[in-house]
């Protein structure tokens, strides 16, 4: 390669990563508040060797075909459902992500949403803010206790385990989990029990979603699943919005099929401002901010940059989604 490799970065990411990228590459950084439109992204990647993408950028076969020189896509996220990994692999393109560094921040947010939904914190805040607080009420604002309850983790990976540790260690919860793969560490450390999804939905007081989004998990929490949950149950989603059928969730919250929900992700993102879900008192919604701490985002930026640079240099990526591409890389 003559000169520095050309890369496109689809949004301003923390300097901890951007500085590394700028030093080694000719970097075009999209400074817009919103993601680059599809046509712009396609034009930008046409002569690029590397791409830093966000979960809001769709990296599909058509986009990859528009980038004949592309060697690596480095996603600034642990989730990579925005990327057609099979299409990248078929074209000899490496894909990287940012696992590990956002585990605690994301588990903290899951727990924060759980406590907020269980104890009706946001509802109470709005009540006070609206000047409706008249007196101490023996029967007002009653929520759910956390101690000694049953937690159901759907997807016992790094983040699911971190959430389960918080709930088991701090609140003595019994832990059930549902996953394709057995997690022996969770079983040893937390006495977690692997169960089928129906058992988890029936027995858990709190159901927390930590699964990848793929064709098997899309809509895993649909109307039928919600009906299996307890009327006192709380659903937490810090993974991906489309794991949940949002219309069914809205109905379940309106009709008391479940008690409350805490969501850091929605479908779509952002939700339609007229979506009735946004008006419900028993839902707490955050704008996909589970990894949004200074230290975590810096660490994500650094891994993201290191993945990009390794991909450009023909080295193994530190966090490599498709290592099977080795041997036939572009």
- Per CB under 6 A, residues contacting ligand DGY are 55, 77-79, 102, 291
Work out the number of other CB atoms within 10 angstroms of the CB of residue 191.
10
State the helix-helix crossing angle for 15-24 and 294-313, rounded to 10 degrees: 20
By beta-carbon proximity to ligand DGY, the closer residue of 321 and 325 is: 321
By beta-carbon proximity to ligand DGY, the closer residue of 55 and 175 is: 55
Angle at 206 between CA 153 and CA 136, to 5 degrees: 155
Contact, 63 vs 45, CB < 8 A? yes
Catalytic, 127? Answer no
Q: Which of 288, 297, 302, 306 is catalytic?
A: 288
Element (H, E) at 41: helix 38-45
By beta-carbon proximity to ligand DGY, the closer residue of 173 and 304 is: 304
Q: Which of 15, 23, 184, 269 is catalytic?
A: 269
User: Which tokens in the block code for residue 174?
Assistant: 């019994």
Radius of gyration of the chain (CA): 22
> Least distance (Å) from ligand DGY to the CB of residue 78?
4
Q: Which of 240, 297, 302, 306 is catalytic?
A: 240
> Least distance (Å) from ligand DGY to the CB of residue 239?
8
Work out the number of other CB atoms within 10 angstroms of the CB of residue 216.
9
> Least distance (Å) from ligand DGY to the CB of residue 122?
21
By beta-carbon proximity to ligand DGY, the closer residue of 81 and 144 is: 81
> Least distance (Å) from ligand DGY to the CB of residue 98?
6
By beta-carbon proximity to ligand DGY, the closer residue of 100 and 124 is: 100
By beta-carbon proximity to ligand DGY, the closer residue of 77 and 286 is: 77
Catalytic, 240? Answer yes
- How far apart are the C-alpha atoms of 253 and 294, rounded to whole Å? 34
- How far apart are the C-alpha atoms of 330 and 328, rounded to whole Å? 7
Tokens 């940059």 belong to 305
Kindly state the greatest CA–CA separation across the chain.
74
Catalytic, 210? Answer no
- How far apart are the C-alpha atoms of 211 and 178, rounded to whole Å? 9
DSSP 324: G
Half-sphere exposure of 294 toward its Cβ, with a 13 Å CA cutoff?
A: 0
Across the chain, how many H-helices and E-strands are there? 12, 12
Rounded (10°) CA dihedral 119, 121, 122, 128: 130
Peptide bond into 28 cis (omega under 30): no
Peptide bond into 268 cis (omega under 30): yes
> Least distance (Å) from ligand DGY to the CB of residue 82?
9
By beta-carbon proximity to ligand DGY, the closer residue of 35 and 124 is: 35
Q: Which residues are catalytic?
A: 240, 269, 288
């Amino acid at each position: 390669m003559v000169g520095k490799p050309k890369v496109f970065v689809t949004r301003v990411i923390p300097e901890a990563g951007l500085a590394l990228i700028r030093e080694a590459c000719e970097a075009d950084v999209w400074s817009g508040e919103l993601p680059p439109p599809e046509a712009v992204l396609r034009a930008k990647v046409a002569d690029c060797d590397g791409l830093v993408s966000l979960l809001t950028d769709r990296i599909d076969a058509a986009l990859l075909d528009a980038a004949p020189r592309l060697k690596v896509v480095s996603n600034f996220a642990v989730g990579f459902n925005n990327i057609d990994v099979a299409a990248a692999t078929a074209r000899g393109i490496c894909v990287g992500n940012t696992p590990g560094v956002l585990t605690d921040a994301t588990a903290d947010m899951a727990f924060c949403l759980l406590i907020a939904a269980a104890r009706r914190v946001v509802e109470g805040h709005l009540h006070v803010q609206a000047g409706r607080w008249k007196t101490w009420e023996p029967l007002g604002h009653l929520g759910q206790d956390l101690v000694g309850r049953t937690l159901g983790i759907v997807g016992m990976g790094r983040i699911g385990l971190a959430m389960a540790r918080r709930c088991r260690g701090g609140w003595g919860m019994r832990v059930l989990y549902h996953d394709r793969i057995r997690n022996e560490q969770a079983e040893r450390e937390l006495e977690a029990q692997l169960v089928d999804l129906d058992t988890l939905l029936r027995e858990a007081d709190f159901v927390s979603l930590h699964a990848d989004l793929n064709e098997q998990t899309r809509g895993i929490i649909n109307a039928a699943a919600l009906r299996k949950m307890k009327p006192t149950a709380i659903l937490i989603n810090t993974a991906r919005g489309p794991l949940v059928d949002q219309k069914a969730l809205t109905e379940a919250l309106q009709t008391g099929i479940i008690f409350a929900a805490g969501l850091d992700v929605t479908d779509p993102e952002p939700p339609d401002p007229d979506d009735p879900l946004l008006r419900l008192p028993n839902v707490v919604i955050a704008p996909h901010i589970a990894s949004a701490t200074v230290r975590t985002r810096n660490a994500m930026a650094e891994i993201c940059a290191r993945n990009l640079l390794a991909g450009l240099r023909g080295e193994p990526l530190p966090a490599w989604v498709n290592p099977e591409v080795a041997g036939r890389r572009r």
